[in-house]
Amino acid sequence: MQIKTLLLISVVLRLALIGYGELQDRLLPVKYTDIDYSVFTDAARFVSQGQSPFLRSTYRYSPLLAYLLLPNVLLCWLWGKLLFAGADILAAWQIWRIGQLQQASQARCFWSIVLWLYNPFTVTISTRGSCDSLATVLLLAVLLLLMQGQSLLPALLYGLAVHFRIYPIVYAPAIVLYLAHRQLQQQRQQQQQQQEEKHKGRAQVQRTGSSSTSSNSRARPHQQQGFTAWLLAVVQQGLAFGCPAAAVFLLLGLGFYWLYGQGFLQEAFLHHMVRKDPRHSFSMYYYPVYLQFRQWPGTTAAAAATGTGLDPTVAAAAAREVGDVVIGGAGSGSSSSGSGIAAAVAVLQQLLPSSVAAAATAGFESAWQQLGQLLASLPAVDAGRLAIIPQAVLLLVLAVALHRNQPLCWLLQTMAFVAFNKVCTAQYFVWYYSLLPVALQRMPWPLPKALQAAGAVWVAAQLHWLFWGYMLEFEGAAVHLALWWAGALFLVANAGFMWVLLGCARLCGPAGCEAAGCGGKVRVD
């Protein structure tokens, strides 16, 4: 099947889903269209009236998105969905072009496009009205231009991408290191060409001894200057790439700040930096954040808001909303603890003789009280703020280790950022669904069984979490702790998938399996 046919079928599929979505929205109580699409449209309506898009509550995106969706209000409600679906198709073409630059085989290019275009998650995200495909197009354009050897245009697009969605800022160190490596490679090639020209022009009568002495005398200074040259290249490329990118980001930011004031900064940028969500999510930090939002007896709303960045009244409302269920018992405050102790005592009385049970009960209650006093004496720790530590470490390590392979580096950085983020929802997964196809273009082909198994484990861990999420959200079961453990298993599954990807990349080398000459048939144990 040709690439054009593949793209045409995907266009028809998306148009059909957009049409089906309209029918479902009108006929069924469960809507197909994402609630965010209504938010985008309302923001565009405010803009069309000369007002701020941030008058629409929960609109936390760049005003550019509201401008792009003005036709939703002026022409047709479906404009935004058509735009997002079109971005899917453009992203597929970009993936194909990146595969060509990576010298990937036709099979790799074909299946990488299939993985993007016909992924059920990708298809539904755009046709339901999510804007993530626009950010995907911007990032793939940056990656494509970098791999073509350009610097200025990708820097400008990168500044636009970071303004549009703040998360691509995590790729900055890897990009600068990649550009520095490219500069050093070019310098080495120029030096080799100059040396070859000098050797060709030398007279055959030159003495061998003097030539070897001069080359040895130049070797030590060259080795000593290696780190200095690398550091200089990093600084030069950091300025060459960072200044245009920062200029675009700042100009857009200052322009919209002039138009919309503090509301723009708060909703478009600051909200994402301090956001804490007491609702359940895939994040390992959800449960500690949930407990911070909960208003314990004897505390005030102001105390509940500590470290959350929320107004005390909002924090109190959130505490009431999340309910009184803590680890597994019902009730609030001491009643929750009391019910837990009562259940444990009942079990002890059934399993042990009365005298032993009485002693065990007294010891258990004493230990429980001491544990409560110990926990109460510990300083309060904002679990959400701890998320930045493993994130920063992993992002820097991956940038240093994998910057020569930009697609894989970006993919693993995105996975690490999302997996260790204080808020992690399924919508974030589309961020690395767009990078997975271009990273797999350098992987062994057919894909190793270890990589397939790691992907299956990742899906199973996600389904396991969704089961407990369903029990909590729809059945009202007190399964917060089980859900938190499911999140921990999902984090392990993410780490395992990343580890296997690294193993495949190590076997193929930075240039990929085709360049390594392994033909894509390597084994990963």
User: What are the sequence ranges of the domains in the chain?
Assistant: 132-191+228-274, 286-385, 393-525
- Between 251-255, 279-283, 506-510, the lowest mean confidence (pLDDT) is in 506-510
pLDDT digit string, tens, across residues 426-475: 778 888 888 999 999 888 777 888 999 999 999 999 999 888 888 887 77
- CA trace torsion 196, 202, 208, 212 (10° rounding): -40
Residue 87 pLDDT > 50: yes
- The model's pTM: 0.77
- pLDDT recorded at residue 267: 78
Q: Quickly count: other Cβ atoms within 10 Å of residue 13's Cβ.
A: 15
User: Cα–Cα distance between 497 and 198 in angstroms, integer?
Assistant: 51
Neighbours of 439 (CB within 10 A): 23
**How far are the Cα atoms of 153, 157, 216 from residue 163, in angstroms, in the given order?**
16, 10, 51
d(CA 58, CA 12): 32
Assess whether pLDDT exceeds 50 at residue 25.
yes
Q: Return the pLDDT at 262.
A: 86
427: Cα within 13 Å, side-chain hemisphere: 13
The residues near 369 (Cβ < 8 Å, ≥ 6 apart) are: none
Mean of the pLDDT values across residues 257-276? 78
pLDDT value for 272: 66
Percent of the chain with pLDDT over 70: 71
Q: Is the dihedral of CA 307, 308, 311, 314 positive or negative?
A: negative
pLDDT of res. 357: 62
